[in-house]
Amino acid sequence: MNYNLRGKESTGDRDFVKHLATKHSLPFHVLNVSKTKVKKDEATLRALRYAFFSKVLRKEKADAVVLGHHRDDQAETFLLRLLRGSGAVGLRAMQPKRDHYIRPFLFVTRAEIYTYLKSKKVSFRTDSSNTDSRYLRNKIRHELIPLLAKEYQPQIVNILADTATRLSEAPVDTATLHSVALIENKGSLTFSLEQLLSLPSNTRTALLRHILSTILLNPVSNNLSREIEKVLKGTKNKVSEISFRGLKITKKGGTVTLQKISLD
C-alpha cells in the first residue's frame, strides 16, 4: 500500500516488498495512491488500506489477510480508544480474528520481533512516519507509554494488552443489539430513525456505535456516534445524504441507511 507520502522512502518500501515476493515466488499487488488526492488523516488512510486488502482478497480468492499488529500495537490501540471516549466494546481493541482478517502476532511484543529478526539476520524496513508526533498514536507510543512505564508501571504494555483481551472475552449484552429492527442488504444496514430515537440515551448510543462498527469493521467512539445522532435528528429535509470515512448515510423520511463506500 503505497501512499507516496514519504518520497523515495515510500518507493523503497514498495520495492523491498516486491523483492521479497519475487524471492519466495509469491504474487505481488500494490496500490499507488497519488499524494495530491488523499488526506493524511489516519481514518482516511485506514479506509483506503482495507478497501485495497478486500480487493486483493477477492482477486486471489484467499482465505484471509494476515496483519502484522503486535502486542505493543494492542496496548496503544487500547489507550487511543480510551482517550477518544470508546465504551466497553471499543476497548476490546483488536481481535486475533475478525471476518477475513487475522493477527497472529498480537501476543508478541515489538522488541521480541526485532530480536528474532536480528538473530536470523533478516533485513526489514522502518517507516519514518511512525515517529511523527502529529499523529496521536505516535504521541502515545513515544511519550505517554514510556512515561507510564517509567513513573507508574513498568509492565504497562502487558497490562493494557491483557485488559483488552479480557474485555474481548467478556459476554456482549445482546439485548441492546435487538432494540431496533435492522435490515441488512449487500453491505448496508437500514433501520427506523423513530425506533432509534425512542431508546434511552445510553442504549441509543451503544446501538448506533454497534451499527457503525458493523459497517466500518472498526469500533467507533461515543463522540462520533453522538455526532452522527445529531445529524440524523437535526436534518429537516426529507431526503439527505452525507459521507465520511468510507461510510454513506442516507436519510429518507423516517428511514436511515448506512452503507460502506469505496475510497479508491
Q: Are strands 101-102 and 97-98 parallel, antiparallel or unpaired?
A: antiparallel
Residue 64 confidence (pLDDT): 93
> pLDDT, tens digit, for every residue of 92-129?
778 888 888 999 999 999 999 999 999 999 999 999 88
Contact in structure between 209 and 90 (CB atoms under 8 Å):
yes
- Residue 180, classed as helix, strand or coil, is coil
Who's near 264: CB < 8 A, 6+ residues apart?
31, 48, 51, 52, 55
Of the listed ranges 29-38, 81-90, 132-141, 225-234, the least confidently predicted one is 225-234
Angle between helices 201-216 and 222-234 in degrees, nearest 10 = 100
Confidence of residue 174 (pLDDT cuts 50, 70, 90): low
Who's near 263: CB < 8 A, 6+ residues apart?
44, 47, 48, 51, 246
Residue written as grid cell 512505564 = 149
Measured CA to CA in angstroms, residue 54 lies from 35, 38, 72, 101, 113 at distances of: 22, 19, 25, 10, 27
Mean pLDDT (whole number) for 124-144:
90
> pLDDT, tens digit, for every residue of 175-197?
555 667 888 777 788 888 888 88
Question: Does the pTM exceed 0.75?
Answer: no
What structural domains does the chain harbor?
174-260 (3.30.465.60)
Contact in structure between 92 and 56 (CB atoms under 8 Å):
no
The full length of the chain comes to: 264
| Distance from chain centroid for Cα 197 | 27
Q: Are strands 65-66 and 101-102 parallel, antiparallel or unpaired?
A: parallel
> pLDDT, tens digit, for every residue of 17-37?
999 999 999 999 999 887 666
